Amino acid sequence: MIHPAADGEVLLRTAAPVLQRGTTVLLDNSDCFGKSSPSYGRSGLATQEALRHSLCELEHGEVAELYPSGLAALSGAILAVCRSGDEILICDTIYGPTRRFAETTMADYGVTARYFPADIALGELEALIGLATRLIVLEAPGSLTLDMIDVPAIATLARTCGVLTLIDNTYAAGVLFKPLDHGVDISVQALTKYVCGHSDVFMGCAVARGEVGAMLKRSSRSIGWAVSSDDAYLALRGLRTLHTRIERHGAAALEVASWLAAQPLVREVMCPALPGTVGHDLFVRDYAGGNGLITIVLDAPETAATAFLDALRLFGLGYSWGGFESLAIPCNDQIRQRRFAAPCESPVIRLHVGLENPADLISELQIALSACAQAKDNEQSPRTY
Ligand SMILES: Cc1ncc(COP(=O)(O)O)c(C=O)c1O
């Protein structure tokens, strides 16, 4: 067998962080058994430690736990703080798979879930809180429909009632909003989106302070969540350009959203960063800016969505967002799974505005809207032979 020639002591200082791969940690002498930490690579080496440190800085937290996907971070954080007999109150506009986790795995563990609409009055939410309520799960702006909620007010109410709060902070990427500074207990992100930023890594994190942070850490170590050093390195790389990218995504999305709002075939633009849209006042009070997400409702039958989507070229058709590229998805089926969704027979389409030139994206949307208008006309006056 050939032994590697170099050991840690010959490492030079580099501008980029260290990519340290490894499972076994070699101890200095026999006295270190049971005393040295970390003594095994599963909970992370230098690269994961650098990432955890950076995420604490980003989210103003004290503990950052890493998970192999955003969904794993959401489920891992919920598992860390809930016990059998507890109840979770969940905002209805949460990311769909979080709802599925609550209704399957958590239900199996004896944890019940109840939902509330994003526009619930604070007093009504207070009335929902009972003796068994352990956790309120939020997402702002909400998935797909980008509904704003008053996060600081809900966090204050929850604290008064002795209930924990968790927010899916993926929209803000830790840059546009700092939930822990507003009284939220756990901030979760799908790092898969803006932090990694290049559509090639799955990862999630949960960040907290004090006792809640210790609970996250304990649960994470006991379950054995781990992320690879290579993926942690890519997340660290993404963090270096995160602020610049998100600013660019936000500015381009605002340009596209303003244009869309003026199009006759667009019935509604959901984009809280756009003045005049629902939730804008709350958004400018709490958020430092918008990201690349916009959702539109077209003034056409739901079937006309196909014509709109199939006319797109720069916008890829695919789930996810937060990467460099523009994407589009139809949302009606996912929205129908909500408890409080208003019935909608028109196409609801979520766009992610990537780093392309916004003028090119607008030209393409113009073509897609024309295709949709054509499909609408054909449907309204079918040809007779
Ligand atoms: C708001 C939100 N949270 C969490 C996730 C899950 O992230 P991941 O795909 O890394 O599991 C997604 C994925 O689309 C998301 O949109």
What is the distance in A from the centroid of ligand 1 to the CA of 73? 9
Q: Is the pLDDT of residue 216 over 70?
A: yes
Q: Is the pLDDT of residue 228 over 60?
A: yes
Q: How confident is the model at residue 160 (pLDDT cuts 50, 70, 90)?
A: very high
Q: Which residue has the higher pLDDT, 2 or 172?
A: 172
- Mean pLDDT check: name the lowest of 38-42, 177-181, 284-288, 362-366: 38-42
Average pLDDT, rounded, for the chain: 95
C-alpha to C-alpha distance for 269 and 265, rounded to whole angstroms: 11
Give tens-digit pLDDT for 229-281.
999 999 999 999 999 999 999 999 999 999 999 999 999 999 999 999 999 99
Give tens-digit pLDDT for 345-360.
899 999 999 999 999 9
CA-nearest residue for atom 9, ligand 1, is: 70
Using an 8 Å Cβ cutoff, are 154 and 286 in contact? no
Residue 23: its pLDDT value, please?
96
Q: Ligand 1, residue 202: give the atom nearest the CA.
A: 10
What is the distance in A from the centroid of ligand 1 to the CA of 313? 24
Q: Is the pLDDT of residue 153 over 90?
A: yes
CA-nearest residue for atom 8, ligand 1, is: 70
CA-nearest residue for atom 14, ligand 1, is: 320
**Pocket, ligand 1, Cβ cutoff 6 A:** 69-71, 95, 139, 143, 168, 170, 190, 192, 202, 204, 320
AA letter at 142: G
CA-nearest residue for atom 10, ligand 1, is: 70
Residue 18: its pLDDT value, please?
92
Q: How confident is the model at residue 156 (pLDDT cuts 50, 70, 90)?
A: very high
Tokens standing for residue 25: 């940690």
Give tens-digit pLDDT for 268-326.
999 999 999 999 999 999 999 999 999 999 999 988 899 999 999 999 999 999 999 99
Phi-psi region of 222 (alpha: psi -120 to 50; beta: other; left: phi over 0): alpha
What is the distance in A from the centroid of ligand 1 to the CA of 87? 23
Residue 343: its pLDDT value, please?
81
Give tens-digit pLDDT for 85-139.
999 999 999 999 999 999 999 999 999 999 999 999 999 999 999 999 999 999 9
Q: Residue 248, exposed/middle/buried by CB under 10 A (0-12, 13-18, 19+)? A: middle
What domains can you pick out in the chain, each with its CATH number?
Answer: 19-237 (3.40.640.10), 241-375 (3.90.1150.10)
- Mean pLDDT check: name the lowest of 36-40, 142-146, 224-228, 331-335: 36-40
Dihedral pair phi/psi, residue 112, rounded to 5°: -95, 160
Q: Ligand 1, residue 192: give the atom nearest the CA.
A: 10
Catalytic residue set: 42, 95, 168, 193
AA letter at 208: A
Percent of the chain beyond pLDDT 70? Answer: 97
Q: Ligand 1, residue 170: give the atom nearest the CA.
A: 1
Q: Which of 66, 67, 69, 71 to mutate to test the pocket of ligand 1 (most atoms within 8 A of CB)?
A: 71
Residue 338: its pLDDT value, please?
94
Q: Ligand 1, residue 143: give the atom nearest the CA.
A: 1
Question: How far is Cα of residue 177 from the mean position of the Cα atoms in its chain?
Answer: 12
Q: Is the pLDDT of residue 384 over 70?
A: no
